[in-house]
Chain A
Amino acid sequence: MKKTKLGEFEELVLLAVAALQQDAYGVEIKRELEERLNETLSVGSIQSALKRMEEKGFLTSAFGEATLKRGGKRKRIYSTTSLAHKVLREMKDIRAGLWSAMPKLSHQLKVTFN
């Protein structure tokens, strides 16, 4: 776990890339996350997260097609690597394990949140 160095925001971006598959390029990722998180994100934050994770080997990318709306500039389609899948699954397992370890606490938490 300690080797992965995956931040919370990075994890969300990574999940979004995995979910979007062929459509995973900058604007679409931003749109998807904005919708789900219900807040506005800046291009800069998404892009820097993408670049960081590419460097760490969680993502690979290739140029996609160009559209008129982009002024003839090509998209860059991101796809997750197997390392990413492994790490994501690990994160999920760790979380699930923790959730199942605190049945009593969850009840109290509910009270506070309501």
Chain B
Amino acid sequence: MIQKNITPPHWPLMLLRFFVKKEYAEEIEGDMEEIFYDNIEQHSIRKAKRIYTWETLKLLRPALIKNLKALQYFNQFNMFGNYFKTSLRSLMKNPTSSFINIFGLSMAVGICVLWFGFASWVNDTDQFHERKDEVYLVTFFADLEGKEQQFGTTPTPLGEMLQQDYPQIKKVCRVKDASVVVKHEDNVFHERIRYVDPEFLQLFTFPLKWGSVNSLKDLNSIMLSEKMSIKYFGGENPLGKSIKVIFSESNSKEFAVAGVAKKLPESHSVSFDFLIHFDNQKVASPMYNTSDWNSFVNATLIQADNPSDIALIQQGMNKYKILQNEKHSERAISNFGFVSLAELYKKSMDIRDGICPPYYESNTKAVLILGVITLFLLALACFNYINIAIVTAAKRLKEIGVRKVIGATRIKVITQFLSENIFVTSFALLFGLLFGIFLFIPGFEQINGFSMGFKLAQPKLWIFLIGILFVTGMISGLYPALYISRFEVVNILKGSSKFGKQNPLNKILLGFQLILACILITCAVMFTQNTDYVAERPWGYNQSEALYAEVHNQLAYEQLNAAMAQNSNVTSIAGSVNHIGKNHATTIVKLPPIKEYEVQQLAVDANYFSTMQLTLIKGRAFNQHPEADKQAIIVNEEFVKTLGWPEPIGQQLEIDSMRYEVIGVVKNFHSYTFDSKMQPVIFKVANKADYRFISLRVRNGSERETYATLQTQWNKLFPEIPFQGSYQEDVWGGFFEKIKNHGRFFQAVALITILLT
């Protein structure tokens, strides 16, 4: 029998009602329904619905469907053909203005394509991992300088305990990063290595070039990224070859290459250079204890099939929180949290010490800024187009008049202008796409030093482009079309229509175009000036004519010192534990009775101030005799300001329950880039055994020569260890390069703006 609640599928029914001729609708609909209910008795409901849908589609025959309006439009094909012809003619007639129009629009479209490429590069990051929605990073929240902060690291034992306690967790992977030296034949380099559980490659589905995912289970296996494979082995397949990993001076191990990852998609945040089994940490440091709550791993990842499982696990996390806070009281955990791999990159700016590299943080902002610039340029191109279109249309008034006389309605004239416009815009779109692919994207990639892996074959791009086509076509064409179609035939043919003068809106549009152009050009000038300003801004010490190198122990320092001291170009040498621009220690300074301050501490020797040319504004530097100033510190101005001392010299402080006396104040200096805030800094006398840096002041003009000598000396003394040092000017890495690049980008935008206007 008929069940009331089962009805034919909805959308085919709608289709049927829409397309089939009215006079046949009742009969055919009834037939279809009768057959449908017959079918339900014979087949499953799903099959009956499928048959119904299929039959509906087969109903769409010329004999049965309505004469749709759209079909009638085919009669107007000639009309559109004529529009096409007239638009081509008017384009050819005014080659200069058509060129400016099309060129301007295509520039703007090119920038749009660039923006799209960049935005999709940012948004697609890490989305290629197959289990991105099932894999979660375990994080914790703790207090950091009075604010709750999310951390991406995890206590080492947590991963194992979670797996034991929750059957819902299918896989757990701990990740621990370390710096090691990797050696294969003559290639010796400092590298970052990842100790991981064998599940790593099942959670992060990096495609492999050679080898198998399971080979990580072997303690003696090592997995390489493609980049590293090429660095050490060239293009050949390195499977089975051996690589020596030197963990420390006394510990090293030979590994066999068991796999090489394929080149990663351009948009990734989590990556690796080398992977070895987690248990190899015991080889690196025999004391390593996986149940020590005081030690942390860089990341713990878990895989759970259901998001609801994560909620369940979240509720049980209190147990571990108590365990952790008992053992490790320094930084009390307030809660644990989970972040899915799919969202990890987007949230990486909130997570401290996460496995996502931090420099991706600025990208969301960059997409926004670039988006605004894109919109500005597009608007500029549209206004430009409108203004030119109105002027050139003056020459076509007669044509419009004649069309109107023949019987064209106002709507027809509007349609004509809009379709012409879409036609011109599609030209611009084509050129814009070419500009984007061959000029803007490669230029942008070169300026910023990355590759966004732009692909043409993605449906989103084409939807985006068609969207742009219609939006710009409509925006730029609507006003001219409305404006031009409004003229009275009689006035046109009499020749009494005056053009463009009496209309205030035209003036507003022109003014707006100029304002937009001014804004963009001002931005560019400001950026360029800023670049120049930053380049000449003082660092607070003399960063030029200075070199530094990292040393691995005291002996290395002594040897290098002895070798370089004979060089006549070297005027001063200093040893230190920390080095400006490279690193510092964070220390708590106590001002009895209760005040505490977190400061940056640099442990240096007496020569450091003269070598780096830090300016002492009060007091004195350290005494040459290392024991003399064991209880003395030198501070920077910021420190004095933070503590609010009128007279800093002679003040007493406590660090690690030792008393210290302030003996000198140095001028403020920028440790890291200008972006980071000025921090209070203290200098202490370094213990000779802890020296990790050597700094040299050299004679003006001899930087290159001395740097080369330094490298040669190093290679002679320590052929096994790669040299790590540079000019002090380069200590901020690509900072200046980056600033300069921003300037260059804005200059390019300004150039396009000028071209558009």
Contact = CB atoms under 8 A, between A and B. Distances in A.
Interface of A: 25-27, 30, 42-45, 47-48, 51-52, 63, 66-71, 73-76
A67 B35 CA distance: 13
A45 to B, nearest CB: 7
A73 B33 contact: yes
A25 B59 CA distance: 17
B58 A45 contact: yes
A26 B63 contact: no
B350 interface: no
Contacts of B62: 48
Interface stretch (B20-28, B167-175, B486-494, B540-548): B20-28
A63 B58 CA distance: 24
7 nearest A-B residue pairs (beta carbon): A73-B30, A70-B30, A48-B63, A26-B31, A44-B58, A76-B27, A44-B59
Interface string B10-34: 0000000000000010111111111
B32 A75 contact: no
B37 interface: yes
B614 interface: no
B61 interface: yes
B33 A47 contact: no
Interface in B715-739: none
A47 B28 CA distance: 8
A26 B58 contact: no
Given A44-B55, A76-B27, A70 B61 contact: no
A113 to B, nearest CB: 32
A63 B31 CA distance: 13
Contacts of B60: 44
B708 interface: no
B375 to A, nearest CB: 50
B755 to A, nearest CB: 58
Nearest to B29: A73
Contacts of A25: 27, 31
Contacts of B33: 69-71, 73
A21 to B, nearest CB: 18
Given A26-B31, A74-B30, A75-B27, A69 B2 contact: yes
A27 B55 CA distance: 13
A16 to B, nearest CB: 15
A68 B2 contact: yes
B393 interface: no
Given A48-B63, A52-B63, A73-B26, A43 B31 contact: yes
Nearest to B8: A71
A58 to B, nearest CB: 14
Interface residues of B, number: 22
Contact of B26 (A43, A48, A69, A74): A74
Given A73-B26, A75-B30, 7 more contacts: A26-B28, A42-B59, A43-B59, A48-B61, A51-B63, A51-B64, A70-B31
Contacts of B31: 25-27, 30, 43, 47, 70
A71 B59 contact: no
Contacts, number: 68
A95 B55 CA distance: 34
Nearest to A70: B30
Of listed A25, A44, A45, A75, residue having the most chain B CB within 10 A: A44
A63 B63 CA distance: 20
Nearest to A45: B58
Interface of B: 2, 24, 26-35, 37-38, 55, 58-64
A13 to B, nearest CB: 13
A25 B32 CA distance: 12
B30 A44 contact: no
17 contacts: A26-B27, A27-B38, A30-B31, A30-B35, A43-B31, A43-B58, A44-B55, A47-B24, A47-B59, A67-B34, A69-B37, A70-B30, A71-B29, A71-B33, A73-B26, A74-B30, A75-B30
Contacts of A27: 31, 34-35, 38
B736 to A, nearest CB: 72
A52 B62 CA distance: 11
Contacts of A44: 55, 58-61, 64
Contact of B58 (A42, A66, A68, A69): A42
Nearest to A71: B33
Contacts of B59: 42-44, 47
A98 to B, nearest CB: 31
A30 B30 CA distance: 14
A25 B24 CA distance: 13
Contacts of A47: 24, 28, 31, 59, 63-64
A55 to B, nearest CB: 9
A23 B26 CA distance: 18
Contacts of B27: 25-26, 63, 73-76
A61 B743 CA distance: 80
A44 B32 CA distance: 10
B366 to A, nearest CB: 56
Contacts of B34: 27, 67, 69-70
Contacts of B37: 69
A59 B29 CA distance: 21
Contacts of A75: 27, 30
B42 to A, nearest CB: 13
Contacts of A68: 2
A61 to B, nearest CB: 9
Contact of B35 (A43, A52, A63, A76): A43
A34 B217 CA distance: 64
A74 B33 CA distance: 11
Of listed B31, B35, B59, residue having the most chain A CB within 10 A: B31
Of listed B27, B28, B38, B62, residue having the most chain A CB within 10 A: B27
A45 B63 CA distance: 10
A63 B24 CA distance: 11
Contacts of A66: 30
Contact of B24 (A30, A51, A67): A51
Contacts of B55: 42-44
